[in-house]
Structure 1
Amino acid sequence: MAICGRRSRPKFILYILGAFVLGYLLFHRNTRSDVGLASRRELPVDQHKNVDEEFLKKPVYEKPPLDVHALGEMGRAVKLDLTEEEKREEEESIKKHQINTYVSDRISLHRRLPERWNPLCRNLKYDYLNLPTTSVVIAFYNEAWSTLLRTVHSVLETSPDVLLTEVILVDDYSDRDHLKEPLENYIADLKKVRLIRARKREGLVRARLLGASIATGEVLTYLDCHCECHEGWLEPLLQRIKDEPSAVVCPVIDVIDWNTFQYLGNPGEPQIGGFDWRLVFTWHTVPEHEQKRRSSATDVIRSVLSGCTK
């Protein structure tokens, strides 16, 4: 039995396509929040309210058992007693990477840092199932093996699994052998880690944009390729974006010594990064009017624009 003849077939196909698109849009609109949330969190919608917060805070990977005697553990400075040959190797590593990778290579990729955050931060609660997810983009060029992978592991071991969509490594046309097949083989065994390579040297900004072009998380998070994350670093950033979707947020950035890899922290009140009139970046204290506006030490510090008048 024929449904339609040749002349009416194009119209019939258009009707079918139109009905399909309309049905999809209606279904997608009515179920996007519930279905998307359930699939993203891998939990039935009706069980969300019963999930334990400690479960939701679990990272992609747990850190290995703590070895308090390991070099650099808990952010301790590493000072080695080296032979003359070893000193030459250390100096060569500094010339090559501008940081002491000879020391870095002897520190665990999974080391812990001491907690130096404000005690009030522990009182903050987050609705993990309703925070946006994020893709962490890490661009690198000829980065040292241990500093790059310590960054990756610190993200995987401190970011709640339910919030971290992926870690995207962007190789900005490196020419070091350890960043070729050895890196590909290493990350092949890591969950949620992807590697893409630029076809030519792009520079930091374009390399980050390359990572953004394939990201699937709801928020883009950019990290340097030689940093370490604290537990609890991600939640307040995503909470701020949930509260103010147009906000561009930045965490408190502590200091790790380039030579000994000692975690120096950032004592006292957080500071605001900015530029002077020569466009030199420097840190500024929080202005008095901003300090008065904040009712708690955990409140957001707004960026400040200033200029001169004629």
Structure 2
Amino acid sequence: FVATPAELLLQIIVVDDASEPPLAPLIRRATELKVHVLRLEKPVGLIAARQQGGLAARGDVLLFLDCHVKPAEGFWRPLLLEIHRDERRVVVPTTTHLDVADWSETARPPRGFGMAKCYLTFDAEFKWTTDSTAWVPILSGGLLAILSVT
């Protein structure tokens, strides 16, 4: 939420897929930070949990981020521009590279572009590439934005 202006951020939904112990008590200042914890009664898995979060969302643009993803500063400008340019688009936000030991940023992407993009070879081999284009051959599973239709 730090990388998003307050006037653009309606809510943050954290989906607790029936974790033990429950997640809500662990999130301090949740209401102050516009965080709503949606606790599922039984585990449903990643995709169904993400779907439940999307159904509970109230915003015009829905941004889905896995817990290990941190958007880069200013990520929202190109993201909103691309979504509103064509409402059928699925957009991947610009992210930073995080050190897994302490969650500090180890590198910053060039303005408007992410650190790397994933693709598959014709032999179905998963690879990463970096370039200066805004197009992503394959969406990463943990981050995407779409226009809400509700």
TM-score (norm 2): 0.73
Deviation at 1:239, TM superposition (A): 1.2
Q: Within the alignment, does 1:237 sit opposite 2:70 as a pair?
A: no
CA distance in 2, matches of 1:260, 1:193: 22
Q: 1:228 maps to which residue?
A: 70
CA distance in 1, matches of 2:39, 2:106: 33
Deviation at 1:267, TM superposition (A): 6.0
Q: Deviations over 1:40-81 (max 9, x none)?
A: xxxxxxxxxxxxxxxxxxxxxxxxxxxxxxxxxxxxxxxxxx
Asked if the contact 2:72–2:108 (Cα under 8 Å) also holds between the matched residues in 1, the reply is no
Question: In structure 1, what residue type is equivalent to 2:93?
Answer: P
CA distance in 2, matches of 1:200, 1:281: 33
The structure that is strand-richer by fraction is 2
TM-score (norm 1): 0.38
| Paired positions, count | 135
CA distance in 2, matches of 1:205, 1:252: 22
CA distance in 2, matches of 1:206, 1:231: 29
The structure that is helix-richer by fraction is 1
Q: Within the alignment, does 1:213 sit opposite 2:55 as a pair?
A: yes
CA distance in 2, matches of 1:267, 1:303: 15
Deviation at 1:186, TM superposition (A): 3.8
From 107, 110, 119, give the equivalent of 1:274: 119
Q: Within the alignment, does 1:253 sit opposite 2:95 as a pair?
A: yes
Distance 1:199 1:260, change over 3 A: closer
Q: 2:8 maps to which residue?
A: 163
Q: Within the alignment, does 1:181 sit opposite 2:14 as a pair?
A: no
Deviation at 1:192, TM superposition (A): 2.3
Q: Deviations over 1:11-37 (max 9, x none)?
A: xxxxxxxxxxxxxxxxxxxxxxxxxxx
Q: 2:134 maps to which residue?
A: 301
Question: In structure 1, what residue type is equivalent to 2:119?
Answer: G
CA distance in 2, matches of 1:182, 1:264: 27
2:91 aligns to what SS in structure 1? Answer: coil
Question: In structure 2, what residue type is equivalent to 1:284?
Answer: T
Asked if the contact 2:69–2:95 (Cα under 8 Å) also holds between the matched residues in 1, the reply is no
CA distance in 1, matches of 2:30, 2:117: 35
CA distance in 2, matches of 1:235, 1:285: 21
Distance 1:164 1:285, change over 3 A: same
Question: In structure 1, what residue type is equivalent to 2:8?
Answer: L
Q: 1:283 maps to which residue?
A: 128
Deviation at 1:200, TM superposition (A): 1.3
Deviation at 1:302, TM superposition (A): 2.3
Deviation at 1:260, TM superposition (A): 4.7
Distance 1:191 1:180, change over 3 A: closer
Distance 1:257 1:303, change over 3 A: closer
Q: Which runs of 5+ in 2 are unaligned?
A: 139-150
CA distance in 2, matches of 1:199, 1:214: 15
Deviation at 1:285, TM superposition (A): 3.8
CA distance in 1, matches of 2:33, 2:97: 28
Distance 1:187 1:214, change over 3 A: same
Asked if the contact 2:70–2:95 (Cα under 8 Å) also holds between the matched residues in 1, the reply is no
